[in-house]
């Protein structure tokens, strides 16, 4: 099974999963910290109950969306200060030099085939989105705390560990989804088989755990099951308020990232996306665009209840979604979460790193794969 930090409604859980490990469309309930109230209350209720009783809740969320000013929904770009804009990936490149080479050093494997499997996704062709967030957050917190622009060695280690944990979850997810492509190439499970792929994912995860233990901070180990971004806050700054800012930023960007993922499943072709399109429908999953589409096409409820299992269900559901405003509403919801992330990170002292983190929220909304 892939390593996931599952959300639960209300008081059952207060932590979100790391970026890319989010459950399919299960935002926290109204009891959770700092989440945009109307969207999460409605969508959490929707995601946890596959019945028509929950769907009227969408009306409340949509009403809030349509009665929110355009400047509020699109305010991410307006919050950038006068700091000179720098591309986030360019700004984080200095501290991520030799990232994948360092990851491969953690994978101490002697068997040639197993080594190739474990290193397969660490080919430098990924976006390294999570490591970039970690090093930018590290510098932004360090600047806020003691005006230091240097990333500590332990903070950089967290960037490495974050990418390893994320990649291990990809290997496992591809097995669960029976996926045949990832990042434009064949998956580990398609080349070496499911059993070896599971072992490879497990090994990457164990290597990440060893690297984590080597940091020597017991608090860091204890929060492994929490948001990865929390780690670099604790390492770099003792101020709980800064920890909370980093947590809220990571949580909201993570939700937005997953929502846009749900959108791309309907709007991007398989070749461009690097993985099969409509994959969630084929797995029987009702994601954001599907849930919103039910408002205009109530007949979708029956398809959801049977998890799109009958012949033609996937095609019908996809048609309904594209004919509805489900894609647009899911995008609006992602905008709300990005706005929340921007609002939080703007509480830190101005710096190029802070502005780069704001720019990353815009990149999440604009990405096409």
Question: Of 107, 102, 130, 124, which Cα lies nearest the Cα of 200?
Answer: 107
What pLDDT, in 10s, does the model give residues 286-300? 999 999 999 999 999
Helix (H, G, I), strand (E, B) or coil at 182: strand
Q: What is the DSSP letter of 152?
A: P
Q: Give the pLDDT of residue 12.
A: 32
What pLDDT, in 10s, does the model give residues 102-132? 999 999 887 888 999 999 999 888 888 999 9
- What residues contact residue 299 under an 8 Å CB cut-off, 6+ apart? 320
CA distance 181 to 273: 10
Backbone angles phi, psi at 278, to 5 degrees: 55, 25
Token pair for residue 179?
């996926």
- What residues contact residue 368 under an 8 Å CB cut-off, 6+ apart? 264, 268, 272
317 by Cβ neighbours in 10 Å (0-12 / 13-18 / 19+) ranks as buried
Report, as an integer, the average pLDDT of 356-363.
94
Q: Give the pLDDT of residue 274.
A: 63
What pLDDT, in 10s, does the model give residues 23-82? 333 333 333 444 443 333 334 333 333 322 233 333 343 334 334 433 344 444 444 444
Token pair for residue 365?
């909304």
In this model, does residue 351 exceed pLDDT 80?
Answer: yes
* Banded pLDDT at 179 (limits 50, 70, 90): confident
Q: Give the pLDDT of residue 124.
A: 86
Q: Give the pLDDT of residue 8.
A: 25
In this model, does residue 275 exceed pLDDT 60?
Answer: yes
Dihedral sign computed on CA atoms, order 326, 329, 331, 333? negative
State how far the alpha carbon of 17 is from the alpha carbons of 21, 96, 229, 247, 252, in Å: 6, 23, 10, 11, 11
CA distance 356 to 124: 21
* Banded pLDDT at 13 (limits 50, 70, 90): very low
Helix (H, G, I), strand (E, B) or coil at 190: helix
């Amino acid at each position: 099974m892939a390593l996931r930090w599952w959300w639960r409604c209300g008081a059952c859980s207060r932590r979100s999963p790391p970026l890319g490990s989010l459950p399919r469309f299960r935002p926290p309930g109204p009891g959770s910290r700092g989440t945009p109230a109307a969207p999460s209350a409605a969508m959490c209720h929707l995601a946890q109950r596959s019945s028509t009783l929950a769907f009227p809740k969408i009306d409340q969320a949509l009403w809030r969306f349509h009665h929110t000013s355009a400047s509020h929904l699109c305010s991410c770009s307006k919050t950038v200060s006068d700091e000179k804009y720098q591309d986030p990936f360019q700004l984080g490149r200095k501290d991520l030099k030799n990232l994948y080479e360092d990851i491969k050093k953690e994978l101490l494997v002697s068997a040639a085939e197993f080594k190739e499997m474990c290193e397969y996704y660490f080919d430098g062709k990924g976006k390294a989105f999570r490591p970039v967030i970690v090093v930018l957050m590290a510098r932004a917190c360090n600047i806020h705390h003691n005006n230091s622009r240097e990333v500590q060695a332990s903070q950089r280690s967290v960037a490495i560990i974050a990418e390893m944990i994320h990649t291990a979850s990809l290997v496992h997810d591809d097995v669960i989804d029976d996926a045949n492509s990832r990042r434009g190439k064949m998956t580990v499970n398609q080349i070496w088989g499911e059993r070896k792929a599971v072992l490879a994912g497990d090994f990457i995860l164990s290597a990440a755990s060893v690297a984590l233990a080597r940091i020597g901070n017991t608090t860091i180990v204890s929060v492994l099951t929490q948001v990865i971004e929390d780690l670099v806050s604790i390492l770099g700054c003792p101020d709980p308020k800064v920890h909370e800012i980093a947590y809220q930023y990571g949580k909201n960007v993570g939700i937005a990232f997953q929502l846009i993922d749900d959108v791309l499943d309907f709007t991007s072709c398989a070749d461009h996306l690097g993985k099969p399109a409509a994959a969630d429908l084929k797995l029987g999953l009702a994601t954001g665009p599907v849930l919103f589409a039910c408002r205009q096409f109530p007949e979708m409820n029956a398809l959801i209840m049977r998890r799109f299992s009958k012949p033609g269900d996937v095609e019908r559901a996809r048609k309904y979604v594209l004919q509805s405003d489900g894609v647009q509403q899911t995008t609006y919801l992602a905008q709300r979460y990005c706005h929340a992330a921007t609002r939080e990170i703007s509480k830190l002292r101005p710096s190029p790193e802070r502005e780069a983190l704001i720019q990353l929220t815009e990149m999440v909304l604009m990405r096409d794969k």
